[in-house]
């Protein structure tokens, strides 16, 4: 079992860093409201907004480099002064009134939606906030940080969890654009945070309408990507799909194949896992364990040879990897590509150009699939894509693989290390992005995840992480169980909760 690292101190640093940035923004730009819009692969995307009267369609201040530098310098001053961060419990009505007066309507709405009659406020330089978790006791320990221009706002970069300085500043323009579109769509539906989502979950008609809208948007995404592939049909012969764990890659490949058929193409879906090397040839990691996520664990030569043969109109025998035996088997699965045929192949290395060095890049269409959630708790606390995927994985692991939630949590840091090494560095190579997140899915997953997390005992090393997730879920109103029937059998989320009906072409 992989070692589990308790990251609560690291998360406390991140929360405190965001609080310091909020205070700096309040001091320098008192007429604007500070917003953390969503998580990026290497930081948080932030904006300064001039709030609209209804708090729904804020006007964003376009940040100049001088603005960003001024914010960074003020943050450095606050850090250097080692200012104390204090806290107290206040009545809910008092907190709601405070946040309404200080241009934080989403936070006020969230607190008003909760059953508790009090809430904890943190204080720094006369500014109060909730932050929804533990904080450092003073500003001196927030660690290294930087602010970089990004879109109309800026990216707040922070330290690596292993204390090796700032996380590398990778290109993230495409992924930021995908998150921006999802955030704008959430705003369009009036889901500006957990508070407004809670209101929807308490109205059956609006809940079912939200499910239908989310599923319709997904269908539109698959249709758009299929049309992009069809537009390049003279060149493209293979679609590669990659994404991190529990992104719904299997469902994505099948639903995209379905839409390719609608567009006049004949898709053939093949899993790249069939090209694993035999187990005894698998590379080892630094601990001497098999590294199944290494590019060296794949039969690159065979994959490239077979793709070249298929593109030349030849017939090949597609292997099937037997995971029980740890061997690739040839069982007479013959394949030839006809004029309207197109391959769809899904795997973790699908966006890495080193996987297919011998293939003409014009013949490849690359798709990145991930649950790029932009659901926020409120103005400055996000719900991360990573946590979204972890909840999905816990439900599926328990349902399909009989893996308990404790084991899923304990393995998660190892999974994340593999993603940081093999997936995220290549996500900007994608020709198209499919965001598999659904606005209603966290309230839905709450029904399944809470009972699993409560089974984790206090003596377990996964207990603190389970409590963190339970604490977050406590803010959400669960999707009513009777409304789960409204989720169609083709939905991505059915891959995790069960009841999915997708046919492999």
Element spanning 37, H or E: strand 33-40
Q: Are 275 and 355 in contact (CB under 8 A)?
A: no
Same domain, 229 and 111: no
Its pTM stands at 0.91
* Residue 196 pLDDT > 80: yes
pLDDT of residue 51: 67
Report d(CA 191, CA 210) in Å as an integer: 10
Q: Is 461 exposed, middle or buried (0-12, 13-18, 19+ CB in 10 A)?
A: middle
For residue 6, pLDDT over 60 is answered with no
Asked if residue 211 belongs to a domain, the reply is yes
C-alpha closest to that of 492 among 239, 292, 218:
218
Q: Is residue 25 part of a domain?
A: yes
Lookup: tokens for 175: 């992924």
- Rounded Cα gap, residues 312 and 337, in angstroms: 9
Contact 222, 434 (CB under 8 A): yes
Task: Report yes or no on 3 lying in a domain.
Answer: no
Residues 389, 469 share a domain:
yes
The pLDDT of residue 4 is above 50: no
Establish if 460 belongs to a structural domain: yes
> What is the DSSP code (8-state) at residue 235?
T
Instruction: Choose the final residue of a domain: 169, 198, 223.
Output: 169
Q: What average pLDDT does the chain have?
A: 91
Taking residues 366-373, what's their average pLDDT?
Answer: 94
Q: Are residues 353 and 209 in the same domain?
A: yes
Nearest to 153 by CA among 48, 55, 69, 58: 48
Candidates 38, 28, 93; CA nearest to 63 is 28
Question: pLDDT category, 52, cuts 50, 70, 90?
Answer: low
Question: 176 lies in a domain?
Answer: no
Under DSSP, is residue 184 helix (H, G, I), strand (E, B) or coil?
Answer: helix
Q: Can you tell me the mean pLDDT for 115-142?
A: 94
Burial class (CB in 10 A: 0-12, 13-18, 19+), 421: middle
- What average pLDDT does range 416-425 have in this prediction? 88
Residues 230 and 160 in one domain: no
What is the rounded distance in angstroms from the CA atom of residue 293 to the CA atom of residue 168? 21
Classify 34 as helix, strand or coil.
Answer: strand
- 130 lies in the same domain as 212: no
Token pair recorded at residue 428? 């900007």
As a three-state string, the secondary structure of 295-355 is: HHHECHHHHHHHHHHHHCCCCEECCEEECCCCEEECCCCEECCCCCEEEEEECCCCCCHHH
- 154 with 234, same domain: the answer is no
Residue 243 pLDDT exceeds 80:
yes
Q: What is the CATH number of the domain that holds 416?
A: 3.40.50.300
Is residue 178 domain-resident? Answer: no
Q: Which of 111, 142, 169 is the last residue of a domain?
A: 169
Shared domain check, 451 and 339: yes
The pair of three-digit structure tokens given for residue 452, joined into one six-digit string: 């699993």
Q: What is the CATH number of the domain that holds 67?
A: 3.30.980.10
Two structure tokens written together for 65: 């480099």
Nearest alpha carbon to residue 247 among 78, 502, 427: 427
Tokens of 471: 């604490």
HEC sequence for 196-225: HHHHHHCCHHHHHHHHHHHHHHHHHHHHHH
Residues contacting residue 93 through CB under 8 Å, at least 6 positions apart? none
The whole-angstrom separation of Cα 208 and Cα 214 is: 10
Instruction: Give the whole-angstrom CA distance, residue 361 versus residue 68.
Output: 39
SS3 42: coil
Could you tell me if 328 and 449 lie in one domain?
yes
Beginning with the edge strand found earlier in the chain, give each strand of the sheet holding 86-91 in spatial order: 86-91, 118-124, 127-129
Strand, helix or coil at 505? coil
Per-residue exposure over 334-364, b if at least 16 CB sit within 10 Å of its own CB, e if not: ebebeeeebbbbbbbbbbbeebbeebeeebb
Q: How confident is the model at residue 54 (pLDDT cuts 50, 70, 90)?
A: low
Residue 131, helix vs strand vs coil? coil
pLDDT at 252: 95
Of 357, 338, 312, 351, nearest to 233 by C-alpha is 338
Q: Per residue in 258-280, pLDDT tens?
A: 999 999 999 999 989 999 999 99
DSSP state of 13: H
Query: What percent of the chain stands above pLDDT 70?
Result: 96
Judge if 156 and 196 occupy the same domain.
no
The answer on pLDDT for 315 being more than 80 is yes
Please identify which residue in the block is written with the tokens 């995971």: 323
Domain span holding position 79 = 8-169
**Number of domains the chain contains:** 2
**Where among 169, 198, 221 does a domain terminate?**
169
pLDDT band of residue 164 (cuts 50, 70, 90) is: low
- pLDDT for position 323: 87
Examine residue 46 and state whether it is found in any structural domain, yes or no: yes
Identify the helix (H) or strand (E) that includes residue 119: strand 118-124
Residues 308 and 208 in one domain: yes
Distance separating alpha carbons of residues 243 and 93, to the nearest angstrom: 43
Calculate mean pLDDT across residues 306-319: 96
Whole-angstrom Cα distance, residue 283 to residue 419? Answer: 17
Contacts of residue 122, Cβ cutoff 8 Å, sequence gap at least 6: 19, 85, 86, 87, 128, 129, 130, 131, 135
In a domain, 218, yes or no: yes
Q: Are residues 208 and 82 in the same domain?
A: no
CA 6 to chain CA mean position, Å: 20
High-pLDDT (> 90) share of the chain, %: 75
> Which phi and psi (to 5°) does residue 162 adopt?
-95, 10
Considering the domain architecture, whether residues 317 and 201 belong to the same structural domain is answered as: yes
């Amino acid at each position: 079992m992989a070692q589990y690292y308790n990251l609560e101190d690291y998360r406390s640093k991140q929360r405190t860093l965001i609080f310091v940035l909020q205070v700096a923004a309040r001091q320098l730009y008192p007429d604007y409201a500070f917003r953390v819009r969503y998580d990026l692969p290497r930081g948080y995307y932030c904006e300064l907004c001039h709030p609209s009267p209804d708090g729904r369609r804020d006007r964003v201040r376009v940040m100049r480099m001088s603005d960003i530098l001024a914010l960074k310098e003020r943050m450095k001053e606050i850090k250097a002064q080692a200012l104390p961060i204090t806290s107290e419990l206040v009545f809910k009505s008092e907190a709601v009134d405070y946040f309404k007066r200080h241009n934080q309507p989403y936070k006020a709405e969230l607190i008003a939606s909760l059953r508790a009659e009090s809430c904890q406020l943190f204080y720094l330089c006369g500014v109060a906030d909730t932050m929804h978790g533990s904080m450092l006791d003073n500003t001196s320990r927030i660690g290294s940080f930087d602010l970089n221009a990004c879109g109309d706002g800026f990216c707040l970069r922070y330290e690596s969890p292993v204390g090796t300085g700032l996380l590398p500043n990778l290109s993230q323009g495409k992924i930021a654009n995908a998150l921006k579109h999802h955030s704008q769509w959430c705003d369009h539906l009036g889901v500006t945070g957990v508070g407004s989502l809670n209101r929807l979950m308490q109205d059956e008609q609006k809940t079912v309408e939200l499910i239908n809208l989310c599923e319709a948007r997904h269908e539109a995404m698959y249709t758009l990507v299929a049309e992009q592939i069809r537009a390049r049909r003279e060149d493209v012969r293979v679609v590669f799909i990659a994404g991190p764990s529990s992104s719904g890659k299997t469902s994505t490949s099948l639903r995209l194949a379905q839409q390719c058929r609608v567009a006049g193409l004949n898709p053939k879906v093949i899993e790249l896992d069939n090209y694993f090397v035999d187990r005894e040839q698998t590379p080892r990691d630094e601990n001497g364990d098999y590294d199944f996520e290494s590019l060296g664990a794949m039969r690159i030569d065979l994959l490239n040879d077979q793709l070249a043969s298929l593109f030349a109109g030849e017939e090949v025998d597609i292997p099937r990897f037997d995971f029980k035996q740890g061997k690739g088997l040839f069982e007479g699965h013959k394949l030839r590509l006809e004029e309207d045929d197109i391959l769809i192949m899904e795997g973790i290395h699908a966006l890495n150009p080193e996987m297919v060095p011998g293939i003409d890049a014009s013949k490849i269409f690359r798709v990145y699939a991930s649950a790029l959630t932009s659901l926020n708790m409120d103005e400055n606390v996000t719900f991360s894509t990573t946590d979204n995927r972890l909840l999905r994985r816990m439900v599926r692991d328990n349902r399909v693989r009989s893996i308990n939630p404790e084991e899923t949590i304990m393995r998660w840091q190892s999974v994340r290390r593999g993603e940081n090494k093999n997936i995220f560095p290549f996500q900007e190579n994608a020709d198209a992005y499919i965001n598999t997140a659904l606005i209603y899915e966290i309230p839905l997953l709450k029904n399944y995840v809470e009972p699993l997390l409560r089974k984790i005992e206090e003596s377990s090393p996964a207990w603190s992480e389970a409590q963190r997730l339970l604490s977050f879920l406590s803010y959400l109103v669960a999707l009513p169980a009777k409304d789960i029937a409204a989720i169609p059998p083709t939905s991505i989320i059915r891959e995790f909760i069960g009841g999915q009906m997708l046919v492999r072409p």
